[in-house]
Amino acid sequence: MSAKTRFHFTGICGTAMGAVAAAMKQRGFVVTGSDANVYPPMSDFLRGEGITLSEGYRAENIPADTDVVIIGNAISRGNPEAEAALERKLLYHSLPEVMKEFFLRGKRNFVISGTHGKTTTSAMLAWIFRHAGRDPGFMIGGLPKNLGCGAHFPDSEINVLEGDEYDTAFFDKRSKFLHYLPECVVVNNVEFDHADIYHSLDEIKLTFRRLLNVVPRNGMAFINGDEANCLDVASGAPCPVTTVGFGENCSLRISGLNYETDRSSFNLGGIAYSVGMTGEFNVRNAAMAVAAATFAGLSADEIRAGLESFEGVARRQELRGEVRGIKVIDDFAHHPTAIRLAVQSLRQRHPTSRLWVLFEPRSNTTRRAVFQTELAEALATADFSIVAAIPDLHKIPENDRLNPDQLSADIARLGGRGWYLPDLETIIATVKEHAESGDVIAVLTNGGFGGIHEKLLTALA
């Protein structure tokens, strides 16, 4: 690929696509791009870098002299530019392949993987490096408050990558993280997810085993030692493995745990650390970030200072506003385990409050019946749970669909109070009728949920 100089990005306005496109432009390559949705801040950022953008997908958007077309993983067959690349016999690559060749080869790459906690752990580790004076490259699937952007590719010795097990592109069904040339891998947890591309937990375990298969002998895999699926994935791995967790069998043990309303402190390997977040899962995330930073060669003092100044990630238990003593919190949780852990953390932070959960089942897995029971069990841990309309339900085969009426009935059977309310106005009216001063309302969605946060705050006022 090294002799190629002209690159066209199809789907350029995604966070990672945009960051890589800008970094390529800064290195002197000619870069063009297109996207269905070209709007600020990404459009302004890319144009500011001198990149020519086209709105909408058309075959003629790909310049005649393009050497390589980079095809985003949201692009499928039938897209005019994907079809043009195939018909013109152009060289085309996925984004992870381009990252590997231009930004990751020869570098120290820290890949943070697992069903939950990837974004927060990646953000913690990238911030610890930056705070300690290293200037890491990073690609994180959220917006870390300290870092100001989700992806950044300077010419750095160190890269921190959120390692997604989702597939790479329509022409490459391997997990993205298999392209990232990891020196160090973190596996936070392994559960069933992405029911649109995986048929079983065993298939997911297989892709995590493949990840550990490409960690070198002078690298390291940090594994959640308290979770059977992680231990199973790591058994027989050809790389060094360190188990991290609370259990006696873990080689790096978390101990001395202490929760305050806005902070958690813990010991790892006999050294004290603290982080301005609550919940057991955030302590686990922090412990993994500490372990990886220690492996990278940072001192305990450097790591401690970075961790203590970490401000979190947008949309991870983020307070959006408070009206009449009622707090509205935004959270990304969309898997039953993540929902249960989010509720646990909010209970620690607001021990005397009644807790509402407004859940939008948007992911390809939560729209399916595969988690019918588990979702009810997780949502029943809140005082009040509202399940919203399920987007694009017609795209799911009828016998595979989540049954929201059954879900609300199961929540009640398990001791919670649940409603299925298919429109935003009814949800807001119901909350307004029943919410009281001191309540905490957590909005759980991996999308926009129709702008419910602001609408709710306005209605409550």
Query: Domain limits of the chain?
Result: 6-95, 106-308, 318-460
First to last CA, the chain: 58
Task: Tell me if the pTM is above 0.75.
Answer: yes
Q: In 3D, which of 212, 208, 247, 248 has the Cα closest to residue 229?
A: 208
Q: Which two tokens stand for residue 421?
A: 């309310």
Residue 2's pLDDT is what? 52
Note the pLDDT of residue 320.
92
Residue in 239, 132, 134 with CA at minimum distance from that of residue 185? 239
Query: Into which CATH architecture does domain 318-460 fall?
Result: Alpha-Beta Complex (3.90)
Stretches where the chain sits below pLDDT 50 are 1
Contacts of residue 252, Cβ cutoff 8 Å, sequence gap at least 6: 222, 225, 242, 243, 244, 268, 269, 287, 291
> In whole angstroms, how large is the CA radius of gyration of the chain?
22
Q: 158: Cβ–Cβ under 8 A, 6 or more apart, which residues?
A: 107, 108, 110, 129, 134, 136, 137, 296
Three-state SS annotation for the chain: CCCCCEEEEECCCCHHHHHHHHHHHHCCCEEEEEECCCCCCHHHHHHHCCCEEEECCCHHHCCCCCCEEEECCCCCCCCHHHHHHHHCCCEEEEHHHHHHHHHHCCCEEEEEECCCCHHHHHHHHHHHHHHCCCCCEEECCCCECCCCCCEECCCCCEEEEECCCCEEECCEEEEHHHHCCCCEEEECCCCCCCCCCCCCHHHHHHHHHHHHHCCCCCCEEEEECCCHHHHHHHCCCCCCEEEEECCCCCCEEEEEEEECCCCEEEEECCEEEEECCCCHHHHHHHHHHHHHHHHHCCCHHHHHHHHHCCCCECCCCEEEEEECCEEEEEECCCCHHHHHHHHHHHHHHCCCCCEEEEECCCCCCCCEHHHHHHHHHHHCCCCEEEECCCCCHHHCCHHHECCHHHHHHHHHHCCCCEEECCCHHHHHHHHHHHCCCCCEEEEECCCCHHHHHHHHHHHHC
Q: Which of 186, 359, 349, 327 is closest to 280 using CA atoms?
A: 349
The pLDDT of residue 369: 84
Given this model, what pLDDT does residue 210 score?
98
* C-beta separation of 246 from 253 below 8 A: yes
8 A C-beta contact, residue 381 and residue 341: no
Q: Helices 280-296 and 300-308: crossing angle, nearest 10°?
A: 140
Strands 264-268 and 271-275: antiparallel
Question: Residues of 272-291 as b/e, b for ≥16 C-beta within 10 angstroms?
Answer: ebbbbbbbbbbbbbbbbbbb
Q: pLDDT at position 279, please?
A: 85
Closest CA relative to residue 368, chosen from 421, 404, 411, 412: 404
CATH topology of domain 6-95: Rossmann fold (3.40.50)
What pLDDT is attached to residue 71?
A: 97
In this structure, which topology does domain 106-308 adopt according to CATH?
Answer: UDP-N-acetylmuramoyl-L-alanine:D-glutamate ligase (3.40.1190)
Pseudo-torsion of CA 8, 11, 14, 17, nearest 10°?
Answer: -30
Res 371: pLDDT: 85
